[in-house]
Amino acid sequence: MIPARQPYKASGRYAGEAAREVDSPRAGYFRLRLRKGAPYVPARIWIGLPRDPLTGELLDRSYRPIVQIANFPATDDPEEVARVWHHGETIDPATFAYMRSRAEWARLHDPEAPAANPLRPVDLSTMRPPF
What is the pLDDT, as a whole number, of residue 24? 85
Mean pLDDT over 71-94 rounds to 92
User: What is the pTM (predicted TM-score) of this model?
Assistant: 0.79
**Sheet harboring 40-48: ordered strands across?**
64-69, 40-48, 28-33, 89-91
Q: What distance in Å separates the CA atoms of residue 4 and residue 7, rounded to the nearest whole number?
A: 10
What is the pLDDT, as a whole number, of residue 61? 81
- Are 31 and 41 in contact by the 8 Å Cβ rule? The answer is yes
What is the pLDDT, as a whole number, of residue 16? 64
What is the pLDDT, as a whole number, of residue 51? 85
Taking the alpha carbons at both ends of the chain, their separation in whole angstroms is: 59
pLDDT tens by residue, 14-52: 666 666 777 889 999 999 999 999 999 999 999 999 888
- Are 40 and 33 in contact by the 8 Å Cβ rule? The answer is yes
Q: What distance in Å separates the CA atoms of residue 45 and residue 76, rounded to the nearest whole number?
A: 10
Q: Which residues pair with 51 in a beta bridge?
A: 58
Percent of the chain with pLDDT over 90: 51
